[in-house]
Amino acid sequence: MQRVDGVPQSGRLGGLPGYVDAWHDLIDRLTCGGEAAAYVRRCAAIFGAQLSSYKGHPIGELEAPMTRSFQIQAQGLRAEELPPEEFISRCEELGAMRARQGISVSDLLQAYRLGCEVLRARAYEIAPKNEYRETLLLRLLELLDAWMDQGMIASAAGHRRMELAIMRGAQERKAAFVRQVLSGTVPPSQLGDVAEAYGVVIDEEYFAVRARPREDSELHDIEAFVQSGNTGRRPRGVVALIDGDVCGFVPELPGRARSAQVVVGISGPVPLRDLAGAFHLATRALETAAALRRFGVFSIGDLGMLPAIASDHELGNVMLERYVRPLEAMGASAQAVLETVECYLANNGRVDKTARQMYLHTNTVRYRLGRFEELTGASLRDIDGMIEVWWALQRRRLSVSAAD
């Protein structure tokens, strides 16, 4: 028979031969007949009166799961045993049930303490007033503490598992709603009802957003940043993790000054029903900025021609073949020529400014530009030629970033 450490076995305690019968009598009076039902009913009433998250729950709803656990506990106390696996399982189930009922884990654990206090108080009332009293009560209190500790641990574990399951379910439902809105697959007849559940006003305009977390980013921080533009004066938006990105729609854009460690693609404001097209633009802005390794909040307009260069692979490859591949035969010097041409175009065709920025002599700049024209047949003084070369060099930058 399993015992609580430090407590002598029944029948040998203090040499008192009648201890076992006295113990059984105390436990029977404490737990049998109408006493058990009265105890459970009293506990449920106390929980409902003193614990905030228990309030409002019908007494019967609170009593039912406690009854079987108390029956198991009564059997164990009578045999002076520690909690069996059945009791642990019952407590885990009770914790899960309380989580589904919306009862907090702190109130759940406090309920165990209150229940134990009720049982202790009752034991002091009915314990025999003879030579066994102090010994019986000490033994009972030690056993009750052991049962309460195990019950609290098991219930807390069951409550936590159910909480996580509830949270996962809520996140999955929210992600499904966001995905439907951003893909335009929510039936118009259902959009208003579903949106209202998330605090979304159907007549408001929203910005589509898509943020890509870095490997060292905390997802919660990214979600908070995306929604940081909400001042509380307008309806809030909804964001969720979809395909590895934080996606959704918000009534106000996040502050750009706070975006140094994240890349976010955004759209302009549109009605809720038009978010599918807006999200496509936000996605293109995100993919382009991410390819260029830029951090911040970007719209398609912020990136100029870069989204077209990033998405038009066929034309980009043609430009690469014409203006970049011919230089590959030059070996290591090709990089210097291409960097010079790129700097020259960024400086609106000014040789002197290019030379200063690259710490070169103007003749060196002219030589490299001439070498480029010679190998590619391009004219860096012709507007059409300059646009095509610029396109090729930007495409090359995107290709190098993607490869890295």
Q: Domain holding 84: CATH number?
A: 1.10.490
Residues 318 and 295 in one domain: no
Helix residue ranges, H only, 32-132: 34-50, 59-78, 85-100, 105-126
pLDDT at residue 4 is higher than 50:
no
DSSP secondary structure of 334-376? HHHHHHHHHHHHHTTT-HHHHHHHHT--HHHHHHHHHHHHHHH
Looking at the structure, do residues 399 and 255 belong to the same domain, yes or no? no
User: What CATH number is attached to the domain comprising 385?
Assistant: 1.10.10.2840
Highest mean pLDDT among 20-29, 145-154, 316-325, 338-347: 145-154
DSSP β-ladder status, 296-298 and 263-271: parallel
What's the pLDDT band for 234 if we cut at 50, 70, 90? low
User: Are 227 and 117 found together in one domain?
Assistant: no
User: Do 354 and 321 belong to one domain?
Assistant: yes
Please report, rounded to a whole number, the percentage of residues in the chain having pLDDT higher than 90: 36
Q: Which pLDDT value is given to residue 404?
A: 54
Whether residues 293 and 335 share a domain: the answer is no
Q: Are residues 47 and 158 in the same domain?
A: yes
Pull the structure tokens for residue 113. Answer: 């303490």
Last residue of a domain, one of 283, 304, 325: 304
Range in 74-78, 98-102, 122-126, 390-394 the model is least confident about: 390-394
Binned at pLDDT 50, 70 and 90, residue 295 comes out as confident
- Looking at the structure, tell me whether residues 239 and 220 fall in a common domain: yes
State whether 299 and 323 are in the same domain.
no
pLDDT at 207 over 50: yes
Same domain (yes/no): 316, 393: yes
Sequence letter at residue 336:
A
327 in a structural domain: yes
| Residue at token pair 């034991």 | 123
Question: 334 pLDDT exceeds 80?
Answer: yes
Q: How many domains would you assign to the chain?
A: 3
Residue with tokens 């060196």: 364
Q: Which pLDDT value is given to residue 324?
A: 86
Query: What integer pLDDT is reported at residue 149 of this predicted model?
Result: 94
* Shared domain check, 383 and 258: no
Confidence band, pLDDT 50/70/90 cuts, at residue 363? very high
Position 16 confidence tier, pLDDT thresholds 50, 70, 90: low
* Mean pLDDT within 335-362: 90
pLDDT greater than 90 at residue 144: yes
Mean pLDDT (whole number) for 185-208: 80
Residue 145, domain member (yes or no): yes
- For 198, the token pair is 């998330």
Tell me the mean pLDDT in the region 2-6.
43
Among 269, 304, 339, which residue terminates a domain? 304
The predicted pLDDT at position 13 comes to 44
- Give the SS3 label for residue 249: strand
Mean pLDDT of the chain: 84
Q: Which domain holds residue 26?
A: 13-165
